[in-house]
A and B are shown apart, each in its own frame.
Chain A
Amino acid sequence: MSDRWVAVLSGGLSHERDVSLRSGRRLSAALRTAGLTVEEWDADGGLLDRLRANRPDAVVVAMHGGEGENGSVQSILEMLDVPYVGTDSRSCRRAWDKPTAKSELARVGLNTPDWVVLPHSTFRELGAQAVLDALVERLGLPLILKPDQGGSALGTQVVREAAELPAAMVGCLAYGDTVLAERFVPGVEVAVGVLEGPGGPEALPAVEISPQCGVYDYTARYTAGLTEFHAPARLSPAAAEEVGALAVAAHRLLGLRDVSRTTAIVGEDGAVNFIQVNVSPGLTETSLLPMALEAAGRSLGEAFAELVERAVARGGR
C-alpha cells in the first residue's frame, strides 16, 4: 500500500472535456487499485487555490486538448513547484503543435507525410480557390485535413475529391484558425505508447487500428465495437521494431517525459510514417495506451504509480 496521494486533473474547457473526464475517472480507479490515495479535480478557476491549500504529492494530468496538452497547466504546476507526471511545459508546446512536431522529425530524416500549414487568413487574402488548387497540386488526392492543434480526431477529415475541399476546410476551421493539410498515406495505422522507466523511454507493443467505416473518427474512437484493434499489431518483427523505434525517437527528439503515444502509418511500401504524438494519451475504456499496456502485461494503475514515483523524485519541474 502506497502512502502517496495524487490529484488527477481532468475535464477543463477543451473540446475534449468529455473524453478527459472519462480518462480521469478510469485512471483514478486504476491508481486507487494500485494503492494510492486519489482525488479527481476538474481544471477550473479554483485549481490554484486547491493546489495551495491541499498540495498533493504529485499531479497526474489526464486532460486532453487545449490547456492540458499545450503546456498551460504544466506551467502552472511548475510555477507552484508541484511535481507532476508528464512532459514539461515547453516540450508540451512542441508536441502539441502538429506541424512543429512533424518539422522536428523531418529535420532528422524521419518519415512523415508531406504537409502544408494554412491559416484562414491565407485563403482570405490570396483567394480560396487558387490556394486550394495549389494544395491539391502539391499533396494530391486524397489528402487529410486536420486542425493544427487538438486531438480525438475532432475536425479531421479525409478529402477524396477536390470538390469536397472547401466544405472540409470550413469544417476544420471551426476547430481553430489554422489547418494542417497532409498527404494521405494508405496503409496500416498503429499507435505506439512510450513509457519511461529506469532504462529510459521504451516502446510498448504497437496497437493496430482497424475502424469498420475506414476512418478512425470521433465515433469510431469512442464507441466500443466500431473499431477492431490488434495488440500487438499484426506487423512483421522488423516493422514492429521500426514503429517502436520511431515512437521512442519522437519521444526523445521532442523532449517528452514519462509517457507519450505516437500515431504512425505503415505504408503499403512498408515505410513507417510519423503522423503525430500525444503527451496526454487517452485512458478511456476504448483508448489505445491501456490496450498497449495490457499487451505488455502491465496494468494501467501500476504503470502510472511508477510514473508518480518518478515525478515525486524529480520534484516540481
Chain B
Amino acid sequence: MTAPGSQPAQQGARSLDPHLSRYAARTAGMTASEIRALFAVASRPEVVSLAGGMPYLAALPLDALSADIGRLVATEGLTALQYGSAQGMPELREQICEVMALEGIRAHPDDVVVTVGSQMGLDMVTRVFCDPGDVVLAEAPSYVGALGTFSAYQAQVVHVEMDDAGLVPEALRAALAAVAASGRRVKFLYTIPNFQNPAGVTLSVQRRTEVLEICAQHDVLVVEDNPYGLLGFDGQTYPALRSVEADNVVYLGSFSKTFAPGLRVGWVLAPHAVREKLVLAAESATLCPPAFTQAVVTRYLTQHDWKGQIKTYQEAYRERRDATLSAMEQHLPSGCTWTKPDGGFYVWLTVPEGLDTKAMLPRAVTQRVAYVPGTAFYADSFGSRQMRLSYCYPTPERIREGVRRLAAVLEGEMELLSTFGTVHRRNLSGPQTPTPDTA
C-alpha cells in the first residue's frame, strides 16, 4: 500500500531475508511461533513445566559415569574420537540386540543401524519410503516430532483413533479403506505401542496381532517406535510388534529414556533390504553416528548395572505418575478426564467442552505452569480440548504445585467461558514444530 501524500519510493522494500525466493516449498511452515515463544518462559525454574519430556537424569550415577568417561578417553580415545562406520559400532549393535531381547525381539546385529537418536531413524525411514503426497497413518494423537518429520517430507498424515487399549483395529481398517478410496497410497503405519507419547496408553497384547494382520493384508509397512517400552511401572514388558512380525516391521529404539538423551544414541532395526538403504541414507546425512557417544553407551552397558538403572527410573517415574494422578483427582474441575498410564512419561488430559488448551497457554504461563496443547499432536488441528502433561522431570512436590496452578488456570478459563459462552478460538500465530520442550 502506498502512503497518503506519498512520494515515489526512495529505496526498495527490505524483506530482511534475501534468500526468500530460494527456499524449498517445504520450508513454508518454518516460521516464528507464539507457542514456541511461550515455551521459552517454561524453561525458567519459577515455572512448573509439565511440558517437556525430559528424563529425570538426577537418577543417574553421575560420579561413576564421569570417571568411566574419563577412562574411555584415556584408554580408547584414538578410536572413540575417530570417524566410525555409517552403520554404527559392531559391539554396540550386539548389545542393542540384547536390549531388544528384553521385549522379545530376536535380531541380528547386521540388521541394526545406529542413529543420532531415534529421531534420525524416523527421519531416514521417512526419507527412504515417502514421496511428497504419500500417506502415513499415525495414532490420534501422535508424537509431535514424528509429525514434524512427516511434514518435512511432505507426507500426508491420516490419524487413526485410539482408546484406552491403544490403536483401534476397526478404525485402522476404516482409515485404510478411506485412503484407498481417495486414490492415495499408504506407505506405513507409524505407531508407539507402549506408554504412547502423548496419550500414555498401551496397545493391548490382543490388538498387536490384529494390527499386524491388518497391515499385512493391506501391504502396509509398520514403523514401531518404542522409546518407553522398558519403563513400565510394574516392570512388565509387552511383546514388541517386531517380535511377532520380522519382515514387515521397522523398529525404532533409543537410549534416550533408559540412559540419557544428551548422548543422542538410537537405532533402527530393519529387514535386510531396508537396512541397506538406511545405511546409505545415514551415510549421506551424517557420515557416521558419533563414535564417542556410542563408545560411552557401550561402556555403560558393559560396566554398569543398566538393568538396575532402568528399575531406578521406573520407580522415579511411578512416584511422579502417582503424584500427578492424585493431584489431578484432587484439584482439577469436574468435566476433566485423563488417561492413567502404566509406564512412560505422559498423561493426556481432556478439558471441559468449550475450553481451548492452546488459547489458554498464555494464562498458564502467567500462572507459572506449562503444558503442551493437544493440537501439537495432530496434523489436522484436532486436539483443542486436550493437553499433554509430562510428569517425568519435576519432583512430586513440584508436580502437585503445577497441577494446583493448572486447576486455577482451568477455573479462570471456565469463568471466561461462562461470560462469553462457547466460542471458536483463534489460533495463536505460527506452527507448532517440535522443540526439545515439546518433544
Contact = CB atoms under 8 A, between A and B. Distances in A.
A5 B362 CA distance: 36
Given A228-B13, A229-B16, A208 B37 contact: no
Contacts of A167: 420, 423-426
A14 B366 CA distance: 8
Contacts of B31: 219, 223, 226
Contact of A175 (B5, B11, B16, B362): B362
Contacts of B425: 167, 170-171
A153 to B, nearest CB: 8
B36 A188 contact: no
Contacts of A291: 14
B1 to A, nearest CB: 6
B313 to A, nearest CB: 30
A232 interface: yes
A229 B5 contact: no
Given A167-B420, A174-B361, 7 more contacts: A174-B362, A188-B2, A224-B17, A225-B20, A227-B15, A228-B13, A234-B8
Given A123-B419, A217-B429, A222 B32 contact: yes
Contacts of A82: none
A228 B15 contact: yes
Interface stretch (B39-47, B112-120, B303-311, B396-404): B39-47
Given A174-B362, A229-B14, A188 B9 contact: no
Interface in A154-203: 154-155, 157, 166-171, 173-176, 187-188
Interface of B: 1-11, 13-17, 20, 31-34, 36-38, 40-41, 44, 46-47, 359-363, 365-366, 368, 415-421, 423-426, 428-430
16 contacts: A13-B368, A15-B41, A18-B37, A44-B44, A120-B419, A170-B416, A174-B359, A174-B363, A187-B3, A188-B2, A217-B429, A221-B32, A224-B17, A229-B14, A237-B7, A269-B4
Contacts of B416: 120, 170, 173
Given A174-B363, A266-B3, A157 B426 contact: yes
Contacts of B3: 187-188, 208, 233-236, 239, 266
Interface residues of A, number: 64
Contact of A234 (B6, B20, B40, B359): B6
A111 interface: no
A291 B13 CA distance: 12
A266 B108 CA distance: 71
Given A15-B41, A239-B3, A170 B13 contact: no
Contacts of A219: 31-34, 429-430
Nearest to A14: B41
A44 B416 CA distance: 31
A308 to B, nearest CB: 27
Contact of B4 (A13, A174, A239): A239
Contacts of A11: 44
Contacts of A231: 14
A270 interface: yes
Contacts of B46: 13, 45
Nearest to B13: A228
Q: Is the interface of B mostly helix, strand, loop or mixed?
A: loop
Contacts of B14: 228-231, 291
Contacts of A168: 426
A95 B63 CA distance: 52
B4 A234 contact: no
Contacts of A239: 3-6
Contacts of A107: none
B4 A232 contact: no
Contact of B41 (A17, A222, A229, A236): A17
A230 B9 contact: yes
A176 B366 CA distance: 9
Nearest to B8: A234
A238 interface: yes
A219 B415 CA distance: 29
A307 B76 CA distance: 55
Given A228-B14, A229-B14, A128 B421 contact: yes
A171 B363 CA distance: 10
Contacts of A266: 3-5
> Which of B3, B10, B41: most chain A CB closer than 10 A?
B3
Contacts of B368: 13
A18 B437 CA distance: 14
B423 A166 contact: yes
Contacts of B362: 15, 154-155, 174-175
B419 A128 contact: yes
A166 B17 contact: no
A133 interface: no
Contacts of B5: 235-236, 238-239, 266, 270
Contact of B34 (A44, A124, A218, A236): A218
A235 B6 contact: yes
Nearest to A164: B426
A187 B421 CA distance: 34
Contacts of A309: none
